[in-house]
């Protein structure tokens, strides 16, 4: 007998804590019916009234932050403090769209040259399917659900198989906040059932945050069925350090950002590109930080830790230098000691693959042009950052980064109001900020003649 697809496995021990049965086909049909029926009335609720409900969702995320943090720690190893921060970020996201949504969704007048009155309206399009990952089990849902509930769309949410408690906790928050029955439905769908949901004519669009492989599958399915999709996929973001008046600060920021969420963030600085005159000191500071760690959180799963270990070992076998860390536990837990790696070359997996875990890879360059060329030498294009004591010098490089999010003297501009998304094989579409309400909408032209 195969084990249930949805289960809680504590990555700190490898112990299976709880299992959940996958949805039946009848459950999927019920979710589709409920989402469609709810849409018929939710879309007509005045946006100010929808905002009142969304505001209550925000408040409940804050109220239940500690509870949510403990769930995430058990399911995917997130440090409790970071779990609380994630819940608070969800509060900020729902608050932002509740407050700004009516303005962002307002009619946009168009200048006409033939008389009459023309506007572009932003109208909902229908039930949506959200396919979410485990690494930020609450935030990923928030940035998809908040703007779309404000617009009047309804949501069927398929979460990662490893975080079912997180999925149920979010569903309960939305229910308790007064989101109407069917307007937000969690479903523990199988992969075959996801295909069925996407093909169903009641579904108007699909948002996926996940791997490049999953994105390709969903893009093919949505294309086949003529559905809009938004894809937030992997990243191998460059952090370019040209010069600095405070190496301790820059190296500290680099390390903290790379290790956040145990290195399991799409937009973390997975490739640190440092000028040769700073390189040795920069690496020394990261190495010191790695060696000083007395304890560290597990990765999300044993398999994730093993994959990361294989990528790093491949680099070492081909001549890269491992300065610290890089030790995989004996198992069945998912601990992997935070590592510092240099000397990575194009023949190594670590050069072209995303390292989704606590590994700081540092490259040495001799010029701004070399730094830029290396920064852009990737199939990914999520985010990137450039650091310099001379902002003009940094901006010149940042302007030429082939990414969806470019930052100067900051590892990442983040906030509910800051759009998130990438180009190239990091996907397409944007979430958060004003652009977050500009994806799953009918941008209807409305013209009234004189």
Q: What angle do CA 191, 192, 193 make, to 5 degrees?
A: 90
Instruction: Please say whether the beta carbons of 302 and 14 come within 8 A.
Output: yes
Separation of alpha carbons 84 and 61, rounded Å:
9
Instruction: Please say whether the beta carbons of 283 and 342 come within 8 A.
Output: yes
Phi, psi of 205 (to 5 degrees): -170, 165
Instruction: Please say whether the beta carbons of 426 and 235 come within 8 A.
Output: yes
Coil/strand/helix, residue 134:
coil
Separation of alpha carbons 401 and 398, rounded Å:
5
Instruction: Please say whether the beta carbons of 385 and 196 come within 8 A.
Output: no
Strand order across the 117-124 sheet: 108-110, 117-124, 441-448
- Just list the catalytic residues: 232, 266
Separation of alpha carbons 311 and 344, rounded Å:
11
Residue ranges of alpha helices (H) inside 129-179 are: 139-151, 164-177
DSSP H or E segment with residue 155: strand 154-158
3-state DSSP helix/strand/coil percent for the chain, to nearest 5?
A: 45, 20, 35
DSSP H or E segment with residue 339: strand 339-342
Separation of alpha carbons 363 and 374, rounded Å:
9
Query: For residue 162, what are its two tokens?
Result: 């490893």
Separation of alpha carbons 139 and 86, rounded Å:
6
Separation of alpha carbons 440 and 132, rounded Å:
17
Q: Up-side HSE of residue 406: CA atoms within 13 Å toward CB?
A: 15
Query: For residue 374, what are its two tokens?
Result: 């290396």
């Amino acid at each position: 007998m195969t084990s249930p697809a949805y289960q809680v496995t504590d990555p700190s021990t490898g112990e299976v804590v709880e299992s959940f049965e996958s949805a039946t086909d009848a459950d999927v049909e019920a979710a589709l019916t409920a989402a469609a029926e709810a849409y018929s009335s939710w879309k007509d609720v005045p946006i100010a009234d929808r905002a009142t409900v969304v505001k209550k969702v925000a408040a409940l995320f804050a109220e239940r932050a500690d509870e949510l943090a403990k769930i995430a720690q058990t399911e995917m190893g997130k440090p409790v403090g970071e779990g609380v921060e994630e819940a608070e970020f969800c509060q900020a996201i729902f608050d932002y769209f509740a407050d700004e949504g009516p303005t962002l969704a307002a009619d946009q007048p168009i200048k006409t040259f033939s008389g009459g009155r023309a506007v572009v309206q932003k109208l909902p399009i229908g039930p949506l399917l959200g396919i979410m990952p485990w690494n930020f089990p609450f935030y990923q849902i928030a940035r998809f659900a908040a703007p779309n509930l404000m617009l009047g769309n309804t949501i069927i949410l398929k979460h990662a198989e490893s975080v079912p408690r997180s999925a149920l906790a979010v569903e309960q928050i939305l229910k308790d906040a007064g989101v109407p029955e069917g307007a937000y439905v969690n479903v523990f769908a199988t992969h075959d059932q996801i295909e069925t949901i996407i093909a169903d004519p009641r579904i108007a669009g699909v948002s996926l945050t996940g791997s490049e492989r999953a994105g390709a599958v969903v893009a093919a399915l949505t294309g086949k069925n003529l559905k809009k999709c938004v894809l937030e996929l992997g990243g191998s973001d460059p952090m370019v350090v040209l010069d600095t008046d405070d190496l301790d600060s820059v190296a500290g920021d680099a390390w903290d950002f790379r290790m956040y969420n145990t290195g399991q963030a799409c937009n973390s600085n997975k490739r640190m590109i440092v000028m040769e005159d700073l390189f040795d000191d920069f690496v020394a500071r990261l190495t010191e930080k790695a060696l000083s760690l007395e304890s560290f959180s597990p990765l999300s799963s044993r398999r994730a830790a093993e994959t990361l270990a294989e990528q790093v070992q491949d680099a070492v076998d081909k001549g890269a230098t491992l300065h610290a860390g890089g030790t995989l536990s004996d198992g069945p837990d998912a601990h992997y000691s935070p590592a510092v790696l240099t000397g990575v070359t194009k023949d190594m997996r670590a050069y072209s693959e995303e390292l989704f875990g606590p590994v700081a890879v540092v490259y040495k360059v001799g010029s701004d042009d070399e730094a830029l060329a290396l920064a852009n030498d990737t199939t990914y294009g999520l985010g990137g950052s450039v650091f310099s004591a001379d902002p003009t010098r940094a901006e010149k490089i940042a302007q030429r980064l082939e990414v969806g999010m470019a930052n100067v003297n900051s590892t990442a501009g983040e906030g509910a109001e800051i759009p998130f998304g990438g180009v190239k094989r990091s996907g397409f579409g944007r979430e958060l900020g004003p652009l977050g309400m500009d994806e799953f909408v009918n941008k209807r032209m409305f013209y009234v003649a004189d």
